Structure 1
Amino acid sequence: MNPLLTVNNVKLTIENKPILKGVNLVVRKGEIHAILGPNGAGKSTLASLIMGINDLKEPTEGEIIFKGKILNGLEIYERARLGLTLAWQDPARFEGITVEEYLKISGKDNPELDVVECLELVGLDCSYLGRFVDETLSGGERKRVELASILAMRPELAILDEPDSGIDFVSMEDIANMIKTMRERGTTVLMITHREEIAEVADRATLMCDGKVVQTGSPKEVGEKFKTMCVKCEVRNPELVGGE
């Protein structure tokens, strides 16, 4: 498969603190790629840097390339026009917009848009169409609506930051099926998670720790490395090995 997204030796320093320390990553067109790692590993920072949000438009060193175009310095709307989108771990509220309007705006360039189907795929029924995307929805409901908007949009690459966050009552199987549906409909998925159960749905997985890539391989191999390495991690838990 051809690479859709390439991260070349990306380093990021914020206030003299190194956050990303030479990250290399290739996401192939048409795959589900999981980035697995403990909290604080730099996963969400990398996602923000790829999307250009949170004032992270370019790395301190290195390049991020999407469809052969260098993203460094581009605005978020320019990246979105190229076919990139990101589902935040904590989804936003949109006062005065109904769920139906939100999904139709998201899917305005999708000629096959079916808003009811998008809701059903994330475990919501058509009664939500008239609800507003505001504080009347729970965090879990907003997260599902946001994921439905990704299905409506059909971007070339969707970055899902902790897709299971806030939706504990949805089974792992439901989440996995939704992500597979995204891929079946032409969306490459880059999934950020700290749970190896979620990473199992991926075609390939990358383990990150302390701002670095530790290993890339099959989800099973990377999941096993995550479980064995992160239990007694010298970086995250120095007290377990006699550090300070």
Structure 2
Amino acid sequence: MKPLLTVNNVKLTIDERPILRGVNLVVNEGEIHAILGPNGAGKSTLASLIMGINELKSPDEGEIIFKDKLLNGLEIYERAKLGVTLAWQEPARFEGITVEEYLKLSGRNNPELDVVKCLELVGLDCTYLSRFVDDTLSGGERKRVELASILAMRPKLAVLDEPDSGIDFASMEDIANMIKTMRENGTTVLMITHREEIAEIADRATLMCDGRVVQTGNPKEIGEKFKTMCVKCEVRNPELVGGK
């Protein structure tokens, strides 16, 4: 498969604290790739660097390359024009904008846009079209609307930061199906999570801990390693591995 996003030896220190310690990652075109890891592993910081948000336009060292284009230093809108978008862990609020207006704005370059279908795919019905994207929606509802906006947009790469955040366990199937639909519609998905259940829908998964990539491979194998690594951690407690 052809690489779409390549992260080469990315290092980042914030307030004298190393956050990313030489991260290497390849996301192939047309795949769902999960990044799994505990809180504080550096997953969301990596997502911010890919999108260029939170004043993180460039790593201290290393490169982030999207379709042979260096992303280092680019503004958010420049990355968006290339086809990169990000769904926030905490979905945004837009006072005075209805869900229908939000989805139509997101999908303005999608000639096949069907806003009702986008809502249905994230488990919401057409009654939400007239709702406002503000605090009248619960956090879980806003999360679904934001994911529907990405379906409407059809970017080349969607970075989903904790797409299961604020979503109850019974709704996980909706989210999983929506992510699969993104791929079917031609969007490559980089999904960041700390739940191995959602990571299992990926084609490949990468385990991160303490700002490092521990392993990339089969999602089920990575999920099993994630479940046990906090007890017997090869990164933070190497002396516990192999009887050392």
Instruction: Give the TM-score normalised by the residue count of structure 2.
Output: 0.95
Residues 1:200 and 2:215 are matched in the alignment: no
Three-state SS of the structure 1 residue aligned to 2:89 is coil
> Which residue is equivalent to 1:47?
47
Structure 2 residue aligned with 1:69: 69
Query: What's the Cα RMSD here?
Result: 1.6
> How much does 1:236 deviate?
6.5
CA distance in 2, matches of 1:149, 1:190: 16
Unaligned runs of 5+ in 1: none
Separation (CA, whole Å) in 1 of partners of 2:234 and 2:43: 18
Aligned to 2:96: 96
Could you tell me which residue of structure 2 aligns to residue 149 of structure 1?
Answer: 149
- 1:127 is matched with 127
Give, in whole Å, the separation in 1 of the partners of 2:71 and 2:61. Answer: 13
Which runs of 5 or more structure 2 residues have no equivalent in the other structure?
A: none
The more displaced of 52-61 and 164-173 is 164-173
Q: Could you report, residue by residue, the CA deviation over 1:38-81 in whole angstroms, capped at 9, with x for unpaired residues?
A: 00000000000000000000000000000100000000000000
**Take 2:170 and 2:81, find their aligned partners in 1: how far apart are those partners?**
31
Alpha-carbon distance, 1:175 to partner: 1.4
The 5-angstrom pairing of residues 109-188 of structure 1 reads 109-168=109-168, 170-188=170-188
What is the DSSP-based 3-state SS (H/G/I as helix, E as strand, rest coil) of the residue aligned with 2:96?
coil
* Contact preservation (8 Å) 2:42, 2:211: yes
- Report the residue type matching 1:61 in the other structure: E
Displacement of 1:174: 1.6
Distance in 1 (alpha carbons) for counterparts of 2:106 and 2:205: 28
The Cα of 1:172 is off from its aligned counterpart by 2.3
**Residue number in structure 2 paired with 1:80:** 80
Amino acid at match of 1:115: V
Residue 18 of structure 2 aligns with an amino acid whose one-letter code is P
Determine helix, strand or coil for the equivalent of 1:171.
helix
Cα offset for 1:171?
2.6
| TM-score normalised according to structure 1 size | 0.95
Give the number of equivalent residue pairs: 240
- The one-letter amino acid of 2:146's match is E
Moved more, 140-149 or 171-180: 171-180
Partner of 2:56: 56
Aligned partners of 1:107, 1:75: CA distance in 2, in Å? 21
Q: Distance in 2 between matches of 1:142 and 1:77?
A: 22
> Paired residue for 2:16?
16
Structure 2: which amino acid aligns with 1:216? T
Of 164-173 and 130-139, the range deviating more from structure 2: 164-173
Identity among equivalent positions (%) equals 88
Superposed CA offset, 1:12-45 (max 9, x none): 0112211100000000000000000000000000
Amino acid at match of 1:16: E
Q: Distance in 2 between matches of 1:73 and 1:50?
A: 10
Structure 2 counterpart of 1:181, which letter?
Answer: T
Structure-1 separation of matches of 2:226 and 2:135:
36
Answer yes or no: is the 8 Å Cα contact 2:214–2:235 preserved in 1. Answer: no
Secondary structure in structure 1 of the residue aligned to 2:133: coil
Maintained 8 Å contact 2:156/2:186: yes
